[in-house]
Amino acid sequence: MKLVTYQINNEERGGKVVNEQIYDLQTNQPVYSYELLAPVPHPTSCRDGYAFRQHVASARRNRGLEMIKEFDQYPIFYFTNHNAIYGPGPIYCMPDHFEKLDFELEVAIVIGKQGRNIKAADADSYIKGYTIMNDLSARTLQMEEMLLNLGPAKGKDFATVIGPWLVTPDELEQYKCNPKPGHVGTSYNLTMTCKVNGIEVSRGNMADMDWTFAEIIERASYGCNLYPGDVIGSGTVGTGCFLELNGTGLLNSPNYKTQWLKDGDIVEMEITGLGTLTNTIVAEATNWSILKQKK
C-alpha cells in the first residue's frame, strides 16, 4: 500500500494512494484538493546512513584519498534535523546554502514498531515502508565545519526531503533481490534517477547498497530504542550528487563545467516502485550570511 500525508484546510490528514488517486483513510473517499506533505512530516528522529561503497570510494578518489578500510567493517550514520523535514514542493534556501548547494539521491525507511538491540536477521520486520529521500546539502558550510572533525550540521540541517508517499514492503515484493555477499537483510532492484530541470544527472540502483537497512538498524538500535516514525536514509547512491559528479568530471578534464543547484531549479527524483519526488529550489528574500561572520 502507498500511504500519504496531505494537508487540506490547514488540517493534516492521512490517506492511501490507489491508481494515483488519494483516498482519505477516515472516510475512504477520494480527495481532490490537497497539498501533499512529507509522508512523515514530524519524525521522532532522522538518521542518514553511508551504505553505497561506490559513492564513498568515488568521492574519496576525487579528493586524492584512498578508500577508507573501515567502510567495510561496520555501517555508520549521522543524525540530521528531524524538524526540517519537507515533502514535494518548494524548498526555501538561504544565501549561504547556495554556496555549492547539492542534492543527494537516496532511499529512506520509516520504522514501524519500537525496538532495541535488534539483530540484523530480524530487522526487516521493523520497517513500515520505503520512500525517496533528498538529503539537501550546502557543501561550503559542510566542508568548513567538518575541518574541525565535527558535523555535518549547518551544511545539512536546513532541509531533508522525503516522499512523495510511503510504500509498504508488500508492494515491493516483486523487486526483491539478494544483498551483497557477506551481508544480511532484504535488498531491492530499484532503479534510482535524478533530473535537474528535466536533464538526467544521476542514475543508480538500490541493489548497489553494500550495507542493508537491516544492518543499519542493528547498529542504530544497539543500546538505543528505535521508535515508530523514525526515519533512516541509505546515504547517497553512486553518482547521486553534484559533489561526486563534479569531482569525477574535473578528474577526467580540467575544463569540466561544474554544476550546483540554484534558485528556480526543479529537482525530480524517481525510484522504481516509490514514485517521483519533485521540488523547486527557491531563494529566501534576504542577504543574511553566517559565512561572512567568521572572525
Block residue for cell numbers 565535527? 150
- Please state the rounded mean pLDDT for residues 206-234: 98
75, 216 contact by CB (below 8 A): yes
pLDDT category, 138, cuts 50, 70, 90?
A: very high
pLDDT(47) > 90: yes
Of 40-44, 149-153, 201-205, 221-225, least confident by mean pLDDT is: 149-153
In this structure, the number of other CB atoms found within 10 A of the CB of residue 194 comes to: 26
pLDDT(67) > 90: yes
Of 66-70, 172-176, 200-204, least confident by mean pLDDT is: 66-70
Question: Taking the alpha carbons of 91, 24, 170, 183 in that order, is the dihedral positive or negative?
Answer: positive
Q: What is the share, in percent, of the chain residues with pLDDT greater than 70?
A: 100
In this structure, the number of other CB atoms found within 10 A of the CB of residue 195 comes to: 17
Stretch (H or E) spanning 62: helix 53-62
Residue 103: exposed, middle, or buried by beta-carbon count in 10 A (0-12, 13-18, 19+)? buried
Stretch (H or E) spanning 105: strand 105-111
pLDDT category, 282, cuts 50, 70, 90?
A: very high
pLDDT at residue 51, rounded to an integer = 97
47, 231 contact by CB (below 8 A): yes
Task: For residue 30, give the DSSP letter.
Answer: B
- State how far Cα 216 lies from the chain centre: 15
pLDDT at residue 151, rounded to an integer = 80
CA atoms within a 13 Å half-sphere pointing along the CA-CB vector of 282:
8
Q: What is the share, in percent, of the chain residues with pLDDT greater than 90?
A: 95
pLDDT tens track for 147-180: 999 889 999 999 999 999 999 999 999 999 999 9
